[in-house]
Every structure is written in structure tokens, then in C-alpha cells.
Chains A and B, each alone.
Chain A
């Protein structure tokens, strides 16, 4: 073999060796393993928790010994599922006419409610109090009641005493939606 030929074969061998090493010594030996990449996806769904009543004012007109009532429909919407929501109710005071310092006793100012599929505490006439009292506890199926919500109809009633002085008596009834018992 001529020296020139020998150098040629040596060079060819060296290049092949380098190419083999450059491919990692395996590319040509087996199929490539899977390559994976994970993407963490978080969907954050906001909390809907609203209470809307169809009236903000109610006027009951009557004479002594009369019973007068009106209804207020409050719609509770929630998608908070860890615990059921509750509806509470209270009045800030007895019905009072401050101009004559007269009031209608709390025992004569009543509420009751209907609607929903949860538990009701005022299915019959219940006297108002000045502290929050639960009158409705949502059913498990109502914890997430979107999109329509749950409508609860409250009847506000007053039994006007037979000796009630004429006047305009007022109070503010507050409905509260909460998950706090």
C-alpha cells in the first residue's frame, strides 16, 4: 500500500469515528425516547355570592286592629360550595313614629317565607328581632345554584294593635346572605 493510500484510509476512519461520537453513539443504534414537556394549567373560577331583593321599600297602610302584609322576593346566587349559604333577617328597630315617640311592638311585626328547597325557620309568622336570625338554610343542591339562583319570598306582616296611635311608623329590615352560621 502506498503511503498516500494509507493516509487516505486513516483519515476516513478518523472522520467516521468523530461522526459516530458526535451523534452520541446511539442515534443510529435505537429509536429516540419520547420527549415530554408538561404545562400546568390553573383555571381560577371567581366566587359569585349575591343577594338581590325586588323591593327596597314597602308601605303598609291600615287602621287599628288591621293586619297588613306585603312580600319581598330576595334572590340568592352562589357558586361557593364548601358550605351552604344562609339567609338571615333582622330589623333595626320596632316600627316607630319618631315624631310622636310611638311604636308598634316587635311582637306585632312578623315575617315568614316560602321558596327554595332548603331548611326554613320561619314557615309560620315569626316576630322580628333586632339581631340577625337565620330563616333559611340552602339545600346542598343550592350551594351552587348558578345561573338562576334561589328565590325566597318573604312576607312582612304587621298586626296593628287596636289602640295604635295614628302615625307613620318605620323600620329597616335587612336581609343577609352568609356562609357563617
Chain B
């Protein structure tokens, strides 16, 4: 009786262990956890920021006391959307005939502008004289900040020269510069 009391629990324990072992050996392996790998993707879209005018040289021919005009059309293309671009304009000097030293007063050489959907500082009817420092004449509308798909924004400037009645004959020159910028 002593030996029965001692071995029965042992037999039960061994049996349970064997059964458990058999079950474990025959079960499917545990499902593996998902594995991931990440790739950071950066797309750098290049900048288009260009200004092209249809004329690089223009000539106004007139007599004293007449008014002469010419249109210069500039195409501004941008995909820089952080801030609106602007067009500025300046002249390097008053119209001057270097051979005689004569000039046409700056007040007689003016400009206005049209086109686009933004703001013109000098629309038709409000001409302003050229200056020798850059002056904003057009500020792009918000939907023109990125105008790449629209083929850009075309702004036409009209240069207007009032030749003084007493102006000496000569060839007067100056260089007008149009600037596309996002700076104030």
C-alpha cells in the first residue's frame, strides 16, 4: 500500500507530461509576427522662375512735341508657391544722347501695364515715370504664384515718351530692366 501511494501521483504526473509533450510536438508553429521595412521617399520638384520679354531692343521715333509709345510684353513663369512674385522695373538713366550730353527729362518717360490677374500699380491711365531704382509694377495673384500649368502670366508694359517741344535732335538711349522677384 505504501508503494501504491507513492507511485500513483508519479505515474499521473509522467502521463500528463508525456501527453502535453505529444500535443506540443504535433501543434503548428505559432504564427509569425508581421515584419515591416520603411523607405522614406522624397520628391524634389525643381524650380521654374523665369521672365522672358518679347523685345530686347525697341526704338521710339518721333519729333519734338509728339508722344510715342511701344508695348513690351513679358512672360513670367513660376512654380514657386511660397509667396507671390512681383515684377519690378527700372531704367539705368534718363534717356541720354551720349554724343551731345543731352537728355530727355525722366518725367517724360513713363509706363503703364496690363494683363494677368494680380495687382497693377500703374494701370492704364495712371502712368508713372521710370526711376533708376527697381519699382514694383505688378504683384501676382495668389493663383498665379504657381502658373506653370497655365503657361505663365503675360504682362504688357506700355512705354510712353513725351518728346519735349524743345528737344534737341539726337539718339537718346537708356536701358529698361524688368525684374521677376519674390522679394519686397
Main secondary structure of the interface of A (DSSP, over half): strand
Q: Is the contact region of chain B dominated by helix, strand, or loop, or is it mixed?
A: mixed
A130 adjacent to chain B (CB < 8 Å): no
* Minimum C-beta distance from A180 to chain B (A): 7
* 8 Å CB contact of A166 from B28, B38, B46, B150: B46
> Which residues of chain B from 7 to 22 have a CB within 8 Å of any chain A CB?
18, 21
B98 CB to nearest chain A CB (Å): 42
CB distance A163 to B41 under 8 Å? no
A169 to B36, CA, bound (A): 23
* A181 lies within 8 A of chain B by Cβ: no
A42-B25, A102-B81 known; A49+B39 contact, CB < 8 A: no
CB distance from B152 to the nearest CB of A (A): 11
Please tell me the number of chain A residues within 8 Å of chain B, measured between CB atoms: 54
Residues of the A chain whose Cβ atoms lie less than 8 Å from the Cβ of B63 = none
A40-B48 in contact (CB<8A): no
Given A57-B42, A60-B44, decide whether A78 and B37 contact each other with a Cβ distance below 8 A.
Answer: no
Q: Is the CB of A169 within 8 A of B42?
A: yes
CB distance from B41 to the nearest CB of A (A): 5
Q: Map CB proximity to B onto A50-80 as digits: 1 under 8 Å, 0 otherwise.
A: 1111011111111110001000101000101
6 tightest CB-CB pairs across the interface, nearest first? A163-B149, A49-B32, A165-B81, A166-B47, A63-B46, A51-B35
